[in-house]
Amino acid sequence: MTRYSFATLDRWVTKVEKIQTAVVRQAVGDMLADIQIVPGINRGGARVRGTIPRDLGALANSLRSTLYGSSAMTQTGQQSHVLVAGAMSAGDVARFSWGGSVAPYAAAVHYGARGLPGTFWIDVAADGWQGYVRAAVARARAEIIG
């Protein structure tokens, strides 16, 4: 059993903060990387729940990733989450959104409109959040234990 004393408290806190940061970076990065981009209706595909359809517009590339906290940054583009997730620290707040002036139709694709079903990629990703955290914790434990 590991014993901690008041004299080693600072080292323990530093270690825990590093582990928490590693877990949040891994979970956020994995969640966003798992959102699949599939051919849209105009390219012979279908609306598939949990995915971003790629047709003629720039929906997938409209991702805006913003970090508030230990450092502040905003990145735009399909892979913008990589830099933001990699810069996160435990306790930071990040926002990831699609649409804006690049793809103003994002909400219609996400929720559905004009008789077409929504793909709800954000909802599906959010529903799986606990699984991403559990996997990141398991990975951190495996690295710590060796």
Per residue in 15-26, pLDDT (tens digit) is 888 999 999 999
Question: Is residue 35 included in any domain, yes or no?
Answer: yes
133 found inside a domain: yes
Report the run of H or E that residue 11 belongs to, with start and end: helix 9-33
**pLDDT tens sequence across 49-77:** 999 999 877 999 999 999 997 778 999 99
- Give CA separation, 127 vs 64, 134, 135, in Å: 20, 13, 14
CA 130 to chain centre: 12
Q: Hey, is 125 helix, strand or coil? A: helix
Domain count, the chain: 1
Is residue 63 situated within a structural domain?
Answer: yes
The pLDDT assigned to 46 comes to 86
pTM, 2 dp:
0.85
State the Rg of the chain over Cα. Answer: 19
Q: What is the rounded CA–CA span in Å between residue 39 and residue 60?
A: 11
Residue 134's domain comprises 6-140
Asked if residue 97 belongs to a domain, the reply is yes
- According to DSSP, the residues that pair with 64 across neighbouring strands are 76, 97
Asked if residue 146 belongs to a domain, the reply is: no
Residue 121 lies in a domain: yes
Q: Is residue 124 part of a domain?
A: yes
64 located within any domain: yes
Strands 51-54 and 116-117: unpaired
Mean pLDDT, residues 106-129: 95
